[in-house]
A and B are shown apart, each in its own frame.
Chain A
Amino acid sequence: MSSIRFDNVSYIYAKGTPFEKEALDGVSIELDEGMTIGIIGHTGSGKSTMAQVMNGLIKPDSGDVYIHGENIWADPKNIKKYRFIAGLVFQYPEYQLFEETVYKDIAFGPKNMGLDDAEIDARIKWAAGTVGITADLLNKSPFDLSGGQKRRVAIAGIVAMRPSIMILDEPAAGLDPRGRDEILSNIIRYQRESSSTVIMISHSMEDMARYCDKILVMNHGKVFRYGTPAEIFSDSDSLENIGLAVPQITRVMRRLKQLGNDVNTAVYTVDEAHREILRLIGGDGK
């Protein structure tokens, strides 16, 4: 079963003007369910448009979008339902916080779903805990929090809706290394505990390699590749041709190979590189 399926989906920005641009060009793809999927691609490759088409925020010009096998535009009056099933966290979502307290801000989504107060309360506390927002922050103004905390509150607002698919557009952009690791680990934990599907866009190949089960590569509005990190990063030449890169550690392994060492170059995290080198040296590799 797929989480989201695109069948020949196209979307054109500024149609009929000189700035007309085909953001998605006949995209057909079936994304897996119950795992973490990364989307990479250079600026303008169609990643963010794809995220917004996925949960019905943008209606494609042609083609069909399916969530859990249902055509989401079969009856446009029902589109709202799919936005609760597939929750979307925008880029820099902290700019969208608006309520007086953190508690009320996280409550906004669940309230819109028409849940009762007790259920809303339980979900807020659970969602805050999931993203690492402590109880003492719930009654503070979101504007008194640090950038990293605000980002987590914004993500909690979507988590509280318990979407079975969560789509995040660059959730770690602009954060320092620790903040980035915390947010990404929280997202992965949510994915595992809820057996949901997480789809996230990122420019960091290192993060994608470390956190994602599958990676979708977009280029000029088309699907370039879809596969495991090992499959994607094993073809570094093609990635570099489309303005992307492989993780730094993968480049080290490729260079080792060029220097005449019999290494496996399908290595994309420091852990794996370490094991592979110990294997070659004849160490135990623990």
Chain B
Amino acid sequence: MSETVIKAENLSFSYKEDDGSSTEVLNGVNISIERGSFVAVLGHNGSGKSTFAKLCNLIIMPTDGTLSLFGKRIDEKTLTEDELFEIRRRVGMVFQNPDNQLVATIVEEDVAFGPENIGVPSNQIRKRVDDALALVGMSEFKKHSPHQLSGGQKQRVAIAGILALNPDIIILDEATAMLDPAGRREVLDTVHRLNREGKTILHITHYMEEAIDADRVIVINDGNVLIDGTPKEVFSHTELLSDAGLDVPQTTDLAHRLINDGYAIDGDLLDVEECAAEISSIIKGKAK
């Protein structure tokens, strides 16, 4: 039985408007996330998905319901500063803009920023920085200045900065949104590798095809969970997704059109290989 690292029960978050009224962003969300899983989170802008992410490392506090992290229920009244820092260390977050996250003028100094701040002894920092840069494949750039790097490389350095704190969970809050296809590939390959080595990953994205390789996809809409399941289950709900302002990968779109034409085809085809194989067998079957 694997450990539940994030457990949200009836979790809500609202903020106060200037006129005293409150606006609800999350409305009674129930989500459990297991250690070691790779979870993609989808939802339109303003759906509440980033708010959920910010609750997971306590950048903001729940206004209702309960949130448990690593088996411990979070209570704002009794939470000590040490506990808060420990949670932020264990739940690292990478944000959208690669230019807003690196603080130092040299890559390795940037990665050392976190460990220095939490008081890691200096003789251990060297090793942590080197290990973290190796994990994201950026060792050869350690003496570079961040502004000389591409977007994908900057995001990998940001991930290394989090790894140097030895976190359990890494949350990517649209961390691929501003990258080109090669940069997106670099970042995704990196987080999939970290996932195989045991890190729990929450990947928030607008690119449907980035969710295909996740263990699980959670779709958030209007402050609540709309669909939660494997990528195949989730993307089979084409109409529900479209109503939520999302779309499906082109492969799934094509499969559904062929189903509507009356062809017996598997409706939850996601990757290019599967989709082509299935269509090929239909073409060849018809040709005989």
| Residues on A facing B (Cβ under 8 Å) | 19, 41-44, 146-148, 173-180, 203, 205-206, 243-245, 247-249, 251-252, 255-256, 259-261, 270, 273-274, 277-278, 280-283
Contact = CB atoms under 8 A, between A and B. Distances in A.
Contacts of B284: 260-261
Nearest to A91: B178
A-B pairs with lowest CB-CB distance, top 5: A255-B276, A178-B245, A243-B182, A176-B44, A249-B250
B150 to A, nearest CB: 5
A156 to B, nearest CB: 19
B247 A177 contact: yes
Interface in B188-244: 206, 208-209
Contacts of A283: 261
A174 B148 contact: no
Nearest to B280: A259
Contacts of B177: 173-174
B151 interface: yes
A116 B208 CA distance: 47
B253 interface: yes
Contact of A203 (B180, B249, B261): B180
Given A42-B182, A175-B45, A273-B254, A256 B276 contact: yes
Interface in B29-62: 43-46
B272 A248 contact: yes
Nearest to B43: A176
B235 to A, nearest CB: 13
Given A44-B150, A259-B276, A281-B263, A203 B181 contact: yes
Binding site of B, secondary structure by majority: helix, strand, loop or mixed?
helix
A252 B206 contact: no
B181 A243 contact: yes
B150 A249 contact: no
B167 interface: no
Contact of A252 (B44, B180, B254): B254
Contacts of A173: 177-178
A90 B250 CA distance: 29
A256 B208 contact: no
Nearest to A205: B181
A274 B254 contact: yes
B282 interface: yes
B152 interface: yes
